[in-house]
Structure 1
């Protein structure tokens, strides 16, 4: 097994050192039957934990959850293995997918969630062979999936609440800026000057024009003011 893992490491390093874009365009993760390396490992006669660990650390998660031509993922095949040797592989996969990948972005509940999931994953390992029947194993894994779904809903709801709070704070800051701007115009008389004085200078122009649309014309036209001053 160690020789196999070392050979895989060598091949992987050689591929990684090549052109990544070229590799991604041509790399296939599945064979003609739709089976990827994870399918091959978990359906082998001798289950190798070291090889599965190698794949989990290097292959993208989309390969792990992809199905074959029968729409079965590697976990589907792993859960129908009746041997006790399948349990460590199930535990390793669940640990990698559900526990290790959880990002702690400031929620105090994350450590509690991880501890709860780890406890349920450990519960898959029972001492007697009688308790290692497929139905019991599937029931325990289903409970883990249920808890992950529950925690995911809480996390998504918390993210939405956080986004709404940020949006509310930005809108409040914008309202305060608009109020401050109106107060400044009121105190300095800018509202009166822009609306009435410029409207008087350009007689006949629409008074609905804003100050921003008038300032460029006022600054760029050299004839405005000069001829009027001479005539006056």
Structure 2
């Protein structure tokens, strides 16, 4: 089995896009593995290195995690727990506020304690929705900081007259929020 895993890993290092190839139903290899009667954690650990493959949607709009959520076998539960852990750790690492990170970890623990698949599925969806919102807020904060820094940089000639708060308020983030975000489906 180790030889097979090594061969898969070698192929992925040579052709990273192999996990993004899809069948006529737009299902990637991770979708197909998620549908297995007993998904193998080892395979997901090797294959999950390509992040877009984890969030790829098939023609029905489902991700591999969506299929895993419905798998009530012990292997399915094990892979689901591991995958949720990976998502929380990888995406949570980029969040700036520790309380946001802590909130995600608390939500993840709620998923692990869920006693039935419908509760677990709701908890996972709630975690993914919250994560999307936190990522959005993080991007907005970073955009504001960049615009603010640019605004402060414009006033470097006269350092004593820089009003940091006024520069922040007038940095242009309101233009971005008002004119760009509606096109991204964000209010």
- Cα drift, residue 100 of structure 1: 1.8
The equivalent of 2:69 in structure 1 is: 79
* Root-mean-square deviation over aligned CA pairs: 2.8
Distance 1:51 1:27 in 2: 12
What is aligned with 2:141? Answer: 158
Distance 1:24 1:151, change over 3 A: closer
Match of 1:51 among 33, 43, 54: 43
2:124 to 127, 135, 141: 141
1:71-110 correspondence runs (5 A): 71-104=61-94, 107=96, 109=97
Which one has a bigger Cα radius of gyration? 1
| 1:66 to 1:164, Cα distance in 2 relative to 1, 3 A | same
- In the comparison of the two structures, how many residue pairs are matched? 159
Q: Given the alignment of the two structures, is residue 176 of structure 1 paired with residue 158 of structure 2, yes or no?
A: yes
Contact kept, 8 Å, 2:34 with 2:64, in 1: the verdict is: yes
Matches within 5 A, 1:1-232: 3=1, 5-13=2-10, 16=13, 23=15, 29-56=21-48, 58=49, 60-104=50-94, 107=96, 109=97, 111-126=98-113, 131-132=115-116, 134-173=117-156, 175-176=157-158
Question: For residues 72-118 of structure 1, what are the alpha-carbon distances to aligned partners after superposition, in whole Å with 9 as ceiling and x for unaligned?
Answer: 2212211222335423322222222232234448x3x1x33223212
Structure 1 unaligned segments of length 5 or more: list them.
178-232
Gaps in structure 2 of 5+ consecutive residues = 160-187
Change (3 A) 1:25 1:78: closer
CA distance in structure 2 between the aligned counterparts of 1:8 and 1:100, rounded to whole angstroms: 23
1:140 CA displacement: 0.7
Q: CA deviation at 1:164?
A: 2.3
